Amino acid sequence: MIITRNLKKTFQTKKMAVHSINKVSFEAREGELTVLTGPSGGGKTVVLNMLAGFIKPDYGDIIIYGEDTSGWGWSRWNSFRRRYISYGTQRNIFIPNISVEDNISLPLLMLGHEKSEVMDLVRDLMERLGIEYLYGRKTYTLSGGEQRRVMVARTLINDTPIILLDEPTAELDEDSSKLVIDLINDFISRDKIFIVATHDKNLVNIGDRVIKIDRGYSTIIK
C-alpha cells in the first residue's frame, strides 16, 4: 500500500523556484488500478518519479507497505526498486544497439535469468501487444506507438508487485491502445499495486481509483 500526503516538490532552476507539486494525497491498493489523470503539466510524472524514489519530496510522506520512506537513502531506494518496482517512464528509454526482444527481456536478464528461459515470455507479451512483427528490429527504427508498446512489455515482464506506467497508450491508435488496456487489465487481477498516469479516457474508465492532479493539487475523482 502506498499513501502519499502533502507532498511538495520545488525545483530550483537557476535562481527561480518552480513549485510543481503542492498537495498530493492518495492511496493505492493491491489488486486495484490507480489512475492519475489531469492536464498536461499538472504534476503526474513528477508524482510517479517520487513514488519510484527518483526524486525526493521537500516535505510529506511516501508510505509503502506501511513503511515511511522519508528516511530511505539512495541505496535503500535502489534495492527496494530492484525487487518491487517496475517503472515505464513517459520517455522511451532503450539500449539502442540491441534488438527489441533483448530490450524487453533486460529486466529479467539483470535478475540473472537465462535468455533461453525468458524468450517465450517475451514473445507472448509481444503478441498480446500486437508487436510480434518487430522481432529482431532495433528500437531506434520504431515508430512512437511501437516504442510505447515495447516500453509497456519491458515494464510488465518481470511481474513486480508495484508497477508504474506513465502514458502507456500515448501515440497509439484505438486498436493498439485497446491491446495495452486489456493487458493492463490482466495484470491488475493479480495482486499488484498498479499506478498509471494517463489522458486516455478508456484507461481512466477502468481505474478502480482515479486521482486528478492539476497544478500540483490532487482531487479524488473515484
18 is an interface residue for ligand ATP by CB under 6 A: yes
Q: From the DSSP assignment, how many helices (H) and strands (E) are in the chain?
A: 7, 11
| Of residues 27-46, those binding ligand ATP (CB under 6 A) | 40-46
Q: Shortest gap between Cβ of 18 and ligand ATP (angstroms)? A: 4
- Of the chain, the end-to-end C-alpha distance in Å amounts to 17
Nearest to ligand ATP of 42, 53 (CB atom): 42
Sole binder of Mg ion in the list 45, 49, 86, 92 (CB under 5 A): 45
Q: Shortest gap between Cβ of 97 and ligand ATP (angstroms)? A: 28
Q: Shortest gap between Cβ of 214 and Mg ion (angstroms)? A: 13
Beta strands in 29-88 (DSSP E): 32-37, 59-64, 67-68, 85-88
Beta strands in 22-80 (DSSP E): 26-28, 32-37, 59-64, 67-68
Closest CA to 168 of 60, 78, 91, 76: 91
Binder of residue 42, out of ligand ATP, Mg ion, none (CB less than 5 to 8 A by kind): ligand ATP
Nearest to ligand ATP of 208, 214 (CB atom): 214
Give the separation between CA 18 and CA 169, rounded to whole angstroms: 28
Length, in residues, of the chain: 222
Sole binder of Mg ion in the list 90, 130, 171, 208 (CB under 5 A): 90
Contacts with ligand ATP, residue ranges (CB under 6 A) = 11, 13, 18, 20, 40-46, 90
